[in-house]
Amino acid sequence: FRLPDWPDGQYTLKVTATTGANTEAISETITLKRAWRLMVSTDKPVYQPGQSIHVRSLALRTPDLHPVPGETAVFNITDPRGNIIFKRAGVTSTYGISSADCALASEILEGAYTIACRIGVTESQCTVEVKHYVLPAFGVQLTTDKPFYAPGQEVGIQAQGDYFFGKPVAGAAVELQATSGT
């Protein structure tokens, strides 16, 4: 049977069985305690000082894995020395989702930062790295489908971007701007 969605606490469970003309009943005190699964994640594993960490959580009720709406989710971010640098509370959505953004200072201790989310007594953690890094450089090559064009003709251009270590740049936005040669 399904337990009602009541607050945690002590309740009396009464079971009645009828077999023919005989009826028997038994009562027991039970403890109702919520059980949730909680996942916390970020948008990327490495951040630079001055960037914002985007944190989100998903809370599901066990054992049926339905969302946990309307519960208070508390996010904490702890630096490598164990200092809490960020604490924010929010309420889970209809889908059991909560989120928070933490803007990192431009001068901050580098290393592993622990991100935790707690809903009730359930907690989940993940770790991100905060450090300076340089994105790899890449080159762009443009080729046209014809060596020359007459006025009013459509120009076909193919853009190819490759990192200098040989791997193609994937998912990048391309913006072209054309000017006359005069």
pLDDT at residue 43 is higher than 90 = yes
Per-residue pLDDT tens over the stretch 122-145: 999 999 999 998 877 888 888 999
Question: pTM of the full predicted structure?
Answer: 0.63
Q: CA–CA separation, 165 vs 22, rounded Å?
A: 83
Confidence tier at 178 by pLDDT (50, 70, 90) = confident
pLDDT at residue 181 is higher than 70 = no
pLDDT at residue 24 is higher than 70 = yes
At residue 121, the pLDDT reads: 84
Per-residue pLDDT tens over the stretch 50-91: 999 999 999 998 878 899 999 999 999 999 999 999 999 999
Per-residue pLDDT tens over the stretch 163-174: 877 888 888 888
User: What percent of the chain is predicted at pLDDT more than 70?
Assistant: 97
Radius of gyration (Cα) for the chain, nearest Å? 29
Assigned token pair, 28: 């027991």
At residue 182, the pLDDT reads: 58
Count CB-CB contacts under 10 A for residue 116: 19
Average confidence (pLDDT) over 15-24 = 90
User: What percent of the chain is predicted at pLDDT more than 90?
Assistant: 57
At residue 33, the pLDDT reads: 78
Q: What is the mean pLDDT of the chain?
A: 90
Q: CA–CA separation, 150 vs 131, rounded Å?
A: 52
Answer for the pair 35, 61: CB distance below 8 angstroms, yes or no. Answer: yes
Count CB-CB contacts under 10 A for residue 49: 14
